[in-house]
Amino acid sequence: MTPASSRDFPDHCVHRVNGASHRLTGFAWEMSSFITTPVVLVYCMIKLYLNLGWTFILGIALFYITIKADRRVHDGLHDIHHQKSKVD
């Protein structure tokens, strides 16, 4: 028993707590990239806009329009695909 513990835990419980340190390390590792990713994304968007100008904005707009059109076509064909995949 360590001085930090006021209870007499069985050995297998202490092992589980000690074995969980890699999870905390993994969480900290992922959290750092979770925080820096939006910053890097905004930085890249600004640099691309400064280099390409309005062409970059038009490219983003075209990308958005094609994503919306694809979603609309997919939703429109959902009933047809559902009917064809039914087993009689």
CA–CA gap between residue 7 and residue 18 (Å, rounded)? 16
Taking residues 4-11, report their average pLDDT.
61
Residue numbers of the domain that contains 75: 53-88
Write the pLDDT tens digit of every residue in 35-52.
899 999 999 999 999 999
Shared-domain flag, residues 45 and 65: no
Angle at which helices 54-84 and 21-52 cross, to 10°: 120
Shared-domain flag, residues 60 and 82: yes
Q: What is the pTM of this model?
A: 0.51
Provide the domain count of the chain: 2
Shared-domain flag, residues 24 and 44: yes
Residue 1 pLDDT greater than 50, yes or no: no
Shared-domain flag, residues 59 and 42: no
Shared-domain flag, residues 41 and 66: no
Shared-domain flag, residues 75 and 47: no
CA–CA gap between residue 9 and residue 56 (Å, rounded)? 61
Write the pLDDT tens digit of every residue in 56-81.
999 999 999 999 999 999 988 888 87
